[in-house]
Amino acid sequence: MWKLFKTPCWVGLCITLTACGGSKPQIQIPELPPTVVQLTLQADAAVNQDSRGRPTPVVVRYYLLSHPASFEAADFFSLFDADEKTLGATSVQREEITLRPGESVKTILRPGAEVKSIGVFVAYRDPNRSVWRAVAPIQRNMLNTLQAKVGRDSVSIGPQR
């Protein structure tokens, strides 16, 4: 008799305990905003002057970098002639543009999670007498509004004002 009663009791107990467990509340993880870089490249009206003092167009490259150390340590000709070899895997993305004197170009970048900084390289006529590279950090999960000022013989990058 106990055997006949025992099985239905166990089944009933299991059903009751299962029903008591219910569903666990879902935890909502807030979605982080994307990382966006709004970059303005601005060439000075007197940029890259030739031997007669006339401004000339200049090649500008910008790199999305996972680590800026290789970019900061490289010499001018290593970056100009063999940037892929010089930067290796630290260069996540590279773009090149030729800026005319006084020209301004804007671009929107959506870097991946591995990108920590942006490097700007300018191929000035006389690299020995110019500041041809600049680096800025990229803040994650926010809009980074940056301006690269390509001056007469130097480049700088920072927050756009």
Q: Break the chain into its structural domains and give their ranges.
A: 36-159
* The predicted structure's pLDDT at residue 5: 55
How many other CB atoms sit within 10 Å of the CB of residue 16?
9
pLDDT digits (tens, 9 = 90+) for 111-161: 999 999 999 999 999 999 999 999 999 999 999 999 999 999 999 999 987
pLDDT digits (tens, 9 = 90+) for 71-121: 999 999 999 999 999 999 999 999 999 999 999 999 999 999 999 999 999
* Interior/surface letters 49-60, b for 16+ CB within 10 angstroms, e for the rest: beeeeebeebeb
User: Going by DSSP bridges, is the β-strand pair 143-150/36-43 parallel, antiparallel, or unpaired?
Assistant: parallel
Which pTM value belongs to this model?
A: 0.80
Q: What is the DSSP letter of 44?
A: -
* Interior/surface letters 91-127, b for 16+ CB within 10 angstroms, e for the rest: beeeeeeebebebeeeeebebeeebbbbbbbbbbeeb
CATH architecture of 36-159: Sandwich (2.60)
